Structure 1
Amino acid sequence: MLKIHVIDAAHGDCILLYFDHSKILIDCGPKSFKARRGVLANIEKILGGNSVIDIAIVTHNDDDHIGGFEFLLDTPIKINTIIFNSLQDIPDIIKSSQKQISYNQDNILRQKLLEERGIQIQCLTRNSTPLIFRDIKLIAITPTVETLERMLKDADAKKEREEKKKKPKQISSSITEEIKPANALQKIQSDQDVFTKDTSITNKSSIGLVVEYRGFSGLFLGDAHAEDVIEGLKIAGFGNHQFDVVKISHHGSERNTNIELLKLLGKTEYILCADNETHHKHPNNTTLARILSLDKNQTLHLSSNNPSLSAKIDDFKSLGFSINETYPTNGVNTLCYEYK
């Protein structure tokens, strides 16, 4: 049996895939003390006496995904392999002589991995050969090499701004005012739902991953862009594939999940890593409305039992949706999937 532990990482992502013989960690939440304390305690509790993570995956360089890794490395937990498209390694990936630049957290993590711990980093892009470990197959559908090249140039531009003491651009998407559930549904039903794409190059660089093992297939999207996921799925042969579960992109932001992607995914369960607490108020009502407009009996697995999040789910239930939602107990929402 595969156990997927969705760990409450506040507004961030942290998912531990617990196979019979292997452990794979996808992201490690933010660096803030309160969030990381709970995340690390729960990872150690789940692993028990066998404190080994076979593969750890850093989907991309945003604090709510990468921040906790620096502190995870200071615990007794042993990590055998890390998949991380570090800015320091992108010149090798794209065969560029461009000087190596890094965002701060990217640089700190890479130094801990290579210089202090000697842990080897593996890179994974859509262009990579799928990684097979003990019959577990990891297939990256995002990012492309071209996206990583763009991110490297963005890092250069950011360094120039900082040197000129100019305020750097925000990495995450712009904030838009959230509309009510009924209004979001009405827009979709009247074909007036306008999808505005995420513009963050950091989010676009996310490792979007298909995980396959003994009949199970799951899709874990980090903060990937919808159009890239659609393209990547089709290229990898998943254009008409039914996943057991999908970790929705960017905490349910309205800029990362559109109707076209949801129709391509078809009938599945969704994991939402969000707590509805930050100023973004993720998951967004528009994203929830898009999901529910295609399946009124949707199963949603949530990373937080924050009252404001459950109230948001209840608002949709009051509109006639029969949502099957699960919440964490003591900070962990455990999903179980029998091998086929």
Structure 2
Amino acid sequence: MLIDSGTASTLRKNRNPSLPPFREIEFYLLTHIDYDHIGGFVNFLSKAQRNDLHPDLIFFGNTLDLIRYKDNDEVGFHHGSALSAHISALKLNSKPLFSEDVLCFKNIKITILSPTLEHIHILKEKWIEIEKELNKKYYGDEFVSVQKKKFKIDVKAAPDDSVKNPIKDLLNSTSIACLIEYENKKALMLGDAHPEIISKQLKTILKNQQIEKINIDVVKISHHGSKHNTTSELLSLISCNRFIISTDGSRPYNHPDIETINKIIINSINAGFTKVYFYFNYQSASEFEIINEAELDIEICKIVTNEIIL
């Protein structure tokens, strides 16, 4: 399964040596329709032949009809052919996914945590307004260097949660997020999902299983480490010390936010872990310095890699 595709330049074998041949990938999952998640899919599928793809390929995604494509190899939102047209032309099977859906195949169980059907309906209703805002954004592929971040971890202080209203952040609150279970391993893949939605679904799982926390082997942190998409409440519902942060750290957002790193480290210390692992796909995003790291009761491991072996 391939979850998201990055920008048009991201989905290339020479840039991602761990990426298997496209013909071997049976499932594509598009979390949501923001450019940095769809660009590679739209660019690739617009040029692909059916023989380039797995014969039983299924494309999971919501609101695919809202995605537009320009003729100049860039993804836009105001004209061109829809991604759904490429999927139709290639005769691909496509399916939407919503919270509480469960997929089971080849010893893999995928429980969908987000989005709610309610937020999908609101996104469609407000699409013209949202589309105008998207057209104002610049989406570049080139890395822009940023100054190294330096900060201090205060274990005694409760980190503040800065959360956006899901209705005012519809692109992210309609992101597909899921719990993937394979054999004895569990991974939370959170896309750009909203933390309140994820927390609500995790609480339901905890209640149904009559447990206090879910043991997770690795979490792909939501929205590239934005401070608005990871809360202390969400982290308190899981037991995990391995976190993926997917971002190049470039402007204008300079992700990951130090508030997110701070929450993860404090939660890991409070949970009794002696080590916490951060996995990055770009060196630049890992270049932050915790001034009082030597004083903390935890070893902080920053790893830049294309592959994580659990």
Normalised TM-score (structure 2): 0.78
Shift of 1:120: 1.4
Q: Which amino acid aligns with 1:78?
A: L
Deviations 1:142-175 (A, max 9, x none): 111101011111214346xx5xxx9968799xxx
Q: Percent identity?
A: 25
Shift of 1:43: 5.2
Match of 2:202 in 1: 233
- Pairs within 5 Å for 1:181-330: 181-182=151-152, 185-186=153-154, 189-191=156-158, 193-197=160-164, 199-237=168-206, 240-296=213-269, 297-306=275-284, 309-313=285-289, 317=293, 320=296, 322-328=299-305
Match of 2:58 in 1: 81
Aligned residues: 276
Measure, in 2, the Cα distance between the counterparts of 1:205 and 1:323.
Answer: 32
Deviations 1:253-293 (A, max 9, x none): 00000111111122331111012112111000010011111
Unmatched segments (≥5 aa) in structure 2:
67-75, 140-147, 270-274
CA contact (8 A) 1:125 1:142 kept: yes
CA contact (8 A) 2:7 2:36 kept: yes
Measure, in 2, the Cα distance between the counterparts of 1:106 and 1:300.
Answer: 39
Q: Which amino acid aligns with 2:53?
A: K
Shift of 1:326: 1.6
Query: Does 2:73 correspond to 1:139?
Result: no
From 16, 25, 33, give the equivalent of 1:53.
Answer: 25
4+ residue segments displaced more than 6 Å: 166-172
Shift of 1:190: 3.1
- Summarize the Cα distance change of 1:255–1:85 in structure 2 as closer, same or farther, 3 Å threshold: same
Q: Which moved further from structure 2: 80-89 or 283-292?
A: 80-89
- Summarize the Cα distance change of 1:315–1:88 in structure 2 as closer, same or farther, 3 Å threshold: same
Shift of 1:104: 5.0
- Pairs within 5 Å for 1:24-63: 24-31=1-8, 33=9, 35-36=10-11, 39-42=12-15, 46-48=19-21, 51-63=23-35
Q: Which amino acid aligns with 1:134?
A: K
Deviations 1:114-143 (A, max 9, x none): 1x2111111110143x11122211110111
Q: Which amino acid aligns with 2:276?
A: Q
- Summarize the Cα distance change of 1:122–1:43 in structure 2 as closer, same or farther, 3 Å threshold: farther
Bigger relative contact order (CA 8 A; separation at least 6): 1
CA contact (8 A) 2:150 2:291 kept: no
Measure, in 1, the Cα distance between the counterparts of 2:121 and 2:205.
Answer: 21
Unmatched segments (≥5 aa) in structure 1:
1-23, 90-101, 173-177
Query: Does 2:41 correspond to 1:69?
Result: yes
Q: Which moved further from structure 2: 310-319 or 270-279?
A: 310-319
Measure, in 1, the Cα distance between the counterparts of 2:36 and 2:80.
Answer: 13
Deviations 1:4-52 (A, max 9, x none): xxxxxxxxxxxxxxxxxxxx10000013x4x44xx4434576325x732
| Alpha-carbon RMSD | 3.1
Q: Which amino acid aligns with 2:225?
A: G
